[in-house]
Amino acid sequence: MALVTKRLILRSWKESDAENLFEQAKDPNVGPSAGWSPHQNVDESREVIKNVFCKQECYAICLKEEDAPIGCIGLKLNESTEMTKSDEECELSYWVGKNFWGQGLIPEAASELIRHGFEELNMTQIWCGYYDGNMKSKRVQEKIGFVYHHTCQEVPVPLLGETKIGHINHLTKERWLARQ
């Protein structure tokens, strides 16, 4: 399944995306702010595609004129998120390669995925978070309608072997509908 916006196609990941994923995910400015270490090689990226990005509702973000992933976006359903245990709620997660920062691509992709979550997956609430200091992610969430819910002082970040301060936001279906 693919979701389409004005400039983007959100599609399933393929193993053949490993080289493109590595090009975006090796940048030390990208992964750590999202909670993971920069990829070290194409094989690591291939393993991430096979074992992490294979989950339901996880999409490669591709520019319409190209089929090369520039980032990742997904809805983590209750079995893959700690933000909720409800089948009617999920967590939005995303990242995009540094060369694509500041172009409004994540708000565009997220808006479509949120629509999909509320209209087609029948979610009642979507959660989203960012680590302290990640102002870009905070601004994305505010832009697409998320509002502050709470802060967690010591969030384990196992892929980095550390803890961080996490800020948690949410968007209800009612609030989303009112913004349409």
What is the model's pLDDT at position 65? 92
For residue 74 the two structure tokens come to 């997904």
Q: How many CB atoms lie within 10 A of CB 117?
A: 24
Residue with tokens 């979507």: 126
Helix (H) or strand (E) holding 118: helix 105-119
The candidate with the shortest Cα–Cα distance to 60, out of 23, 35, 103, 29, is 23
| Residue ranges of E strands in the chain | 3-4, 8-11, 58-63, 69-76, 89-96, 125-131, 147-157, 162-172
Structure confidence at residue 29 (pLDDT): 93
Q: Where are the domains of the chain?
A: 3-179
Q: Which of 1, 13, 79, 77 is nearest to 49 (CA)?
A: 13
Provide the residue-wise pLDDT of the chain in tens; the chain has 180 residues. Answer: 899 999 999 999 999 999 999 999 999 999 999 999 999 999 999 999 999 999 999 999 999 999 899 999 999 998 788 888 889 999 999 999 999 999 999 999 999 999 999 999 999 999 999 999 999 999 999 999 999 999 999 999 999 999 999 999 999 999 999 998
How far, CA to CA in Å, does 163 sit from each of 131, 132, 136, 159, 167?
10, 11, 20, 10, 13
pLDDT of residue 82: 84
pLDDT (0 to 100) of residue 50: 96
Strands 89-96 vs 125-131: parallel, antiparallel or unpaired: parallel
Six token digits for residue 123: 């979610």
What is the CATH code for 3-179? 3.40.630.30
What's the pLDDT at 176? 97
Give me the pLDDT at residue 79, please: 76
